[in-house]
Amino acid sequence: MNQASQTPKRSTPTWQILVTTLGTMAWRNLWRNRKRTVITLSSIAVGFALAVLFIGIGDGSHNSMIRNAIQLGEGHITVQPKNYLAAPSNHSFLHNGKQLVAAIKALDLPGKVMPRISIQTLASTANNSVGAGLLGIETESSLHHPLDPMAEKLKPTLISGAWLTPDDERGVIIGSGMARKLKAKIGSKIVLMAGKKGGDSQAYLAKVRGIFHAPMDEMNDFFIVSHLSFARQFLIGEGGDAFREPLTRIAIFLQDPHTQDDWKQKLKSLLKNDNSLVVLDWQEMMPQLIQFIALDNAGNYVFLVFILIMVVFGILNTVLMSVLERTREFGLLRALGMNRQHLLLLVLFESLFLSLLAMIAGWLLGGLTHLWFSHHGIDFSSFMEGGTSLMGTMMDPIIYTELSWDRVKQLTEIVFITTMVTGIYPAVKAAKVTPVEALRT
């Protein structure tokens, strides 16, 4: 007689039944008082959205300052003489600039490799004399030499005259503050004089072709822009070889800023045999900007602490009131056989669900807020009557909120962990309930 084989049914593990049961009970308990739960979630969502907005504005303003500092400064990476940053001087320069630029370009670096010359001079006209910084850059784009990013920034700020033409060997562009101090106008002659290492001096005649008004007062009051060939005359006077095209530094602008560290290491490997050179990133070139951003971030985190305090009291109020209202119920559960650990897990499950809902509501409102201001921005021009320059750079008048994935992860973890930790005290209080005392209430 054949007997049909029967496959024994696999029983559900005890822990799975326990988790399902406690989870279901916690979810239902959370919505017993819908109004209180909704108010708590709404307050957390509003607080979370404010935190997202303020941190987004902070990151947006910082990134704006960094981008402008890189474009108006020395790029993402700078190659320059070893001690030039600590003690800038006209006789400290890259003697073989032509070969260095060619070697760096041979790496097929994705970006711009810009030769630059910075000279400290005394600018004089018939009316006045002031200290000035002469900056020689690539003022026009060509097949072999792209336009310098600083020229891209300064061209739109011209308020009179015209930009330098390729064949204008003595033409210079000066800032509005410099023009006011020297009482110079378009066509004015300026004598630029610089001291030499041996104690002598050298001077060259320049003519004003244009006047710019940049958002940074330091540039308006101090900068004089010229072709590389004009500024190079001062380096040749210091003993440089014109054929080797000496430079003060090489500024490197990357298409992808995230590759900065990799390219910095490659450049260090390329130049490791030359102890007279140093490869610096923008953070090393502008430490004061890094310090300012760190301090400003600290201020943003102080605001976040206030948001977390509001979250803590909201969660604590909801869960603790729920626990106190159900003291008799907890006593009955204990009398029916539920142990302290299970009661503790029940209340922790309620805190877990409340935390998850708070995250969903917070990111829904905060995400929409960030999405709006990341496209439309916030105009801070009315709050910047004193100018947009700050810490050697400038901040755009319209700030768009920016949030990296690290920020998103950080905000989520902080608020989630805070809400979960807040639920521990009510859970412990519920677990301490004794059946006899609870049933007397």
pLDDT band at 1 (very low <50, low <70, confident <90, very high): very low
Name every residue whose Cβ is closer than 8 Å to that of residue 265 and which is 6 or more positions away in sequence: none
The 10s digit of each residue's pLDDT in 240-294 is 999 999 999 999 999 999 999 999 999 999 998 888 899 999 999 888 888 888 8
Compute φ and ψ for 124, nearest 5 degrees.
-135, 140
Confidence of residue 216 (pLDDT cuts 50, 70, 90): confident
**Hey, what amino acid is at 281?**
D
Question: 349-390, pLDDT tens digit by residue?
Answer: 888 888 788 888 888 888 888 889 989 888 877 666 545 666
Burial tier of 238 (Cβ tally within 10 Å: 0-12, 13-18, 19+): buried
pTM comes to 0.77
Other beta carbons within 10 angstroms of residue 158's beta carbon come to 15
CB 233 within 8 A of CB 223: no
Spatial separation of the C-alpha atoms in residues 245 and 116, rounded to whole Å: 11
pLDDT, tens digit, for every residue of 174-187?
999 999 999 999 99
Cβ-count burial of 15 within 10 angstroms (0-12 exposed, 13-18 middle, 19+ buried)?
Answer: exposed
Phi, psi of 172 (to 5 degrees): -135, 155
In this structure, are residues 91 and 118 in contact, taking their beta carbons and an 8 Å threshold? Answer: no
Query: Average pLDDT, stretch 56-64?
Result: 87
- In this prediction, residues 324-333 reach a mean pLDDT of 74
CA distance 44 to 3: 63
Asked which of 80-89, 131-140, 241-250, 328-337 is least confident by mean pLDDT, the reply is 328-337
